[in-house]
Structure 1
Amino acid sequence: MDGATQLRALPEDLALRVAVEDFYARYVEIANDPLRLEDWPELFTEDGQYRVLPQENWQQGWPLALVRAESRGMLKDRVAAAQGINTYTPRVMRHLVSNIRCDRAGSGEIETKANFAVFETMIDEPSRVFATGVYRDRLIEDTDGLLRLQEHVVVLDNDLVPNSIVYPL
């Protein structure tokens, strides 16, 4: 696409980008707030999928995931597990999402790609990098007009997995 064509396409593309960035801002607000963590599954469609896998598995097309949930009900189980861990060792999780790319796909879907970093701070320890990688997601506009994740694929930069990977990435 040349520069002039990009400028003519800007308003629609810009509206899409703003909507997707707003979605990720909402995602991060919920994932970072232990009092709102129960709302996290609502960011997914009823049959929404959540997978966390190492980069090598993604690149090779291997289906093996470190974490896999295939419905909102399974995501609610993950939230219960995360809340249980926070009871024993209080911590603060901080998500950063950047370099968001989005494109409309068929059937009203939006394909997105974004870099992420998650930091963990234990109450009596310095902050540390918890995980970094790339989100490769499919969003849809649900009947209530909100964007929801049909598929949230978290591709980790390395194979080392934090002990408390029950937290949403």
Structure 2
Amino acid sequence: MRIRELSWQRQGDYWQPLFIRENFLAIAAVAYAGFLQHGRGMVTCDVELPTHAPVDWSRDLLDHQICFQPLPYALELLSQLEVDEETCITLSAALADYEPEQEIMLWLRGNGDVQVMQLKNLAIAPVEAYTQLRQRWDEFQIGVSFERRVP
């Protein structure tokens, strides 16, 4: 299945896979760098999505912030979601059990919508993305933030 290249940013649209695809290396590198410095946690991405125009994912750059939240802060973020207790327990267990070298816990927010996901079976492991980014740092020039942010 091919992901749509153009996506309207409305409630219920699935822009998340397109954003992840275009920003995967940075997301994965931040995930592993955060793990090395703080242990388990979750990458948070806040994305500024246009509301009245489509996004051409191969050309348009969206303002966004990628940050790593250590486990205690990640659990605090999860507790703020309006989800049932079983879902909160499932997400907390995933944070405690994911494989940081191979998987990513991701909080993705755009236009007020939040999606939390566990990325598995990745073509490029977080440790490999981190290594690639460190070797080619000048090309990417991204900021890696490890400070706690209030959602």
Q: So what's the TM-score if we normalise by structure 2?
A: 0.28
Q: Which has the larger radius of gyration?
A: 1
Highest relative contact order (Cα 8 Å, sep 6+), 1 or 2? 2
